[in-house]
Amino acid sequence: MGIKIAALQMSIRDGDRDGNLEEAERLIDQAAKEGAEVLCLPEMWPTGFDYASLLAKAEPVPGPITVFLSEKAAEKGVVILGGSIPERDEDRVYNTAVVFGKNGGLLTSYRKMHLFTLMNEQKYLAGGDVPATFPLGDATAAVVICYDLRFPELFRALITRGVKIIFHPAEFPHPRLHHWRTLIQARAIENQVFMVSTNRSGPGTGGNVFFGHSMIVDPWGEIVAEGGEAPEIVTAEIDLTLVDRVRSSLTSLEDIRRDIFSLDPRN
């Protein structure tokens, strides 16, 4: 039995929280109407990386943005990966992904571990240190954020937790499209997982232009669906039992030298 996945590729208006909320709601409603069961928004969709706005409008979890996402998940009966949002926790702000189940309950939250120095994230945001997984039907899923894609050790740690699909909200700009496509396929192949990567589309602050190309990639590294550069909903129906078939036919995960490399799932 397949699951219909939708990557909601948005053109984010930096600093315009209300406008971005309206656009996110439109995309969620449209994707749900088209039968999508799991929806993934991009990284920092409420504010973009306009740091003044981001810091001013950061909110706790739960807060207005997460209440909105929870209510939409329950209203539409879908799983919503709320991309990531600016989360305030006392005197710190995190780049945090939130996941809501079909009943609107919070399934998990994840604070981005690897902060992107080229966009000065480390000057304004605190980094997380705990991987996050959540149930998706009978399978285990996980979420990472943007720059995390370049750190394969995080992905390997997730595999030790039984993960079969990894969601990856992002804001990847030009000129790194080749890196984006190559690394997503590499993470899928080496870990024998589905990758669902939702990217931002269009211009942003600092002269950045975000190239879209949201992708759904299977455990063989084959691209199941890929968007263009304009805002759109990228959908695909996937069968998570393919993960077991791939891992049975090519046993690379069983052949890891655990006597040399530490793969303790508690780390």
Question: Which helix (H) or strand (E) is 213 found in, with range?
Answer: none
CA angle, 259 then 262 then 263, to 5°: 110
Task: Please state, in angstroms and rounded to a whole number, the distance separating the CA atoms of residues 201 and 198.
Answer: 10
pLDDT of 1 over the 70 cut: no
Domain for residue 123, yes or no?
A: yes
More confident residue, 267 or 177: 177
The residue-averaged pLDDT of 146-155 equals: 97
Tell me what pLDDT residue 261 has. Answer: 76
Tell me what pLDDT residue 234 has. Answer: 98
Tell me what pLDDT residue 90 has. Answer: 92
Q: What is the CATH number of the domain that holds 39?
A: 3.60.110.10
Instruction: Report, as residue numbers or ranges, the catalytic residues.
Output: 43, 112, 146
Tell me what pLDDT residue 119 has. Answer: 83
Domain for residue 104, yes or no?
A: yes
Tell me what pLDDT residue 189 has. Answer: 98
The domain in which residue 159 lies consists of 3-249
Domain for residue 254, yes or no?
A: no
Task: Please state, in angstroms and rounded to a whole number, the distance separating the CA atoms of residues 61 and 116.
Answer: 23
Q: Enter the tokens of residue 252.
A: 């690379």
Indicate the average pLDDT of the chain: 95
User: Could you give the number of structural domains in the chain?
Assistant: 1
Tell me what pLDDT residue 263 has. Answer: 60
Domain for residue 68, yes or no?
A: yes
Sheet holding 92-100, edge to edge: 106-111, 92-100, 79-89, 38-40, 3-9, 232-238
Domain for residue 255, yes or no?
A: no
> pLDDT of 182-224, one tens digit each?
999 999 999 999 999 999 999 998 889 999 999 999 999 999 9
Domain for residue 256, yes or no?
A: no
Q: Nearest-CA neighbor of 169 among 96, 78, 119?
A: 96
Tell me what pLDDT residue 133 has. Answer: 98
The residue-averaged pLDDT of 35-59 equals: 94
pLDDT of 62 over the 90 cut: yes
Q: What are phi and psi of 237, to 5 degrees?
A: -100, 125
Domain for residue 168, yes or no?
A: yes
pLDDT of 65 over the 70 cut: yes
Task: Please state, in angstroms and rounded to a whole number, the distance separating the CA atoms of residues 186 and 151.
Answer: 11
Question: Which helix (H) or strand (E) is 24 found in, with range?
Answer: helix 17-33
